[in-house]
Each structure stands twice: as structure tokens, then as C-alpha cells.
Amino acid sequence: MSFAIHKTKADRVVDAVLYVSMALFCLATLFPLYFVFIMSVTPFTEVMRNGGFVIWPGKLTFEAFETIFGSKVVPRALQVSVFVTIVGTALNLLITMFLAYPLSKKSLPGRHAILLALVFTMLFSGGLIPTYLTVRATGLMNTLWALIIPGLVSTFNVLIMKTYFESLPAEVEEAAKVDGCGDLRTLFRIVMPLSMPIIATLGLFYGVGHWNAYFGGIMYLTDSSLYPIQVVLRNMIQSPSVSQELGVLQTTVQQLPPETIKMATVVVAVAPILAVYPFLQKYFVKGMMIGAIKG
């Protein structure tokens, strides 16, 4: 038997306000991305003819993308960012699991002291200068590992994964140990397959953080060949000469305004994350819900 829900006039007004508000929020979120893409594929003459703002171009041009990919700087920076993101995220997840799994066991000796020490790092950090001195003393300067190792573990993510591990049925792990599985084998064979939602969620957090990071590249790298895409984009925005940052001749970019090339670089820097997110969205939502409701 089904029951029809009759909404009052006030309920319908509230629903309408909510729908309009969400639509406006989505529009405000998506419009900057749309504007950047349109500016990158619209001929500059058409942009100027329309007062610097074009909703839908009459003609598309991909000269800006041909220019940035024709240089060595942007493709090399993309390779660096891909390496740092993939390797860094894999190491982040591995170390986070190795730390969160034992902390999810209440029988772990010194568990409360370790948790207190971890939470302390969320309130106080060593500071910028000590971190820089540590990176320099360990020989990580001018290496890609300087973009990975200093931020290898996030305490917040460790606590989220620990909470998720605590929500798993204890009987499953007990049955695995009865069958002769050790702690590592139980973690990789039993716990990991059951924890894919939280792994995907934290993997997205770590991956986006690595891809968008530029401060580490500015602080620890002086070799321009090691710059990730975000550092290259930052230098292009601040530099008066786009051709110098791209390492191409001025005549190559003289037909294109600097703003168009910058917009195209922004699209290239954002597109990979936008392409990956839809495949992880279902795990992202599920992992955040489960990892947050049980403390």
C-alpha cells in the first residue's frame, strides 16, 4: 500500500526556494570553469569585439593549446605532476593504512598516547623554517621527493581511516586469523577489499592535494625542469613574458594574447582532476558518510 504525501503551499514554496538556490550555486560554481575554457578557444579578435566576454564563440581555435603543447615546458610539467600525484598518493595511502590499522585496535599498547601525539600535530606544527631546514638537511632539495615526503601523512586522514576500520566487523578479521593469516595478510587480503570506499575517498584527497600543490615546488626546487604544472602556471601568470616561461620564440606566440595562453594552461591543469572525479564519486560519498558517523 502506498501513501501519497500531500505538500502544503508553504512546503512547495520552501522546495522552490531550495531548488532555485541549488541551481544558482551550481551556476556560480561551473561558470568560472566555463568562462576559462571559452576564453581559451575563442579567437582574440572576437573576444575584443564583444567587450572581453563571450558566452558562445562563433568560431573555435585551438592555437593556444597547440602552442603550450608545442613547447617543452608544459608537457614536462604534466609528466612531473602525474608522477608526483601517482607515487605520492600511493605512498600516502600505504603509510596512512599502516598507521590507522593498528590504531583501530583498542588492545594496542600505548594507543592513547600515540593518538594524543597525532592530534597534537593538528594543533601545532614545526613551522615553515624548520621544515625547510629538515628538507635541506635530508638531501631532498631539487628532487621530486621533496614534493612527496614532507607531506607523507595527514593526521586528519589517519583518523578518518581509523574510524572506518573500527566500523568493520571484528568477526571477519578473527576468522582470517583462525585460518592462519597474520596482521599484514589480514590487512591486504581482508581489510583493504572491504575498505575501498574510504581508500578511494582519501586517495582523492591526497591526489587533488598533490596535483594542486605549488608551494613545495617554489620552496624546494630551483631546477625549472622539475617544476610541476601548478608552478609553471603560477610563473606564467606572474611573468610579463609568456614566451619566456614556455621556452618558445616570441614570434610563436605573437599572434596569441598572453591571457589566452594562460587560460589554456589553466584548462590543461584542471582537466585531469575533473576527468578522474566522476569515477570516484560513488566511493567518495560512501566513504565520507561511513568514516564520519562512527567515532
Element (H, E) at 77: helix 73-103
255-270 pLDDT, tens digit each: 667 778 888 888 888 8
193-210 pLDDT, tens digit each: 888 888 888 888 899 899
C-alpha cell at 65: 593549446
CATH 3.40.50.2000 at 63-293, yes or no:
no
Crossing angle of helices 155-167 and 111-123, rounded to 10°: 140
Distance of CA 271 to the CA centre of its chain: 12
What CA–CA distances, in Å, run from 224 to 29, 30, 227, 261, 264?
33, 32, 5, 19, 20
User: Where exactly are the structural domains of the chain?
Assistant: 1-61, 63-293
Q: What is the pLDDT of residue 295?
A: 44
Residues of the chain with pLDDT under 70: 1-6, 52, 240-256, 283-295
Nearest to 231 by CA among 242, 247, 220, 217: 217
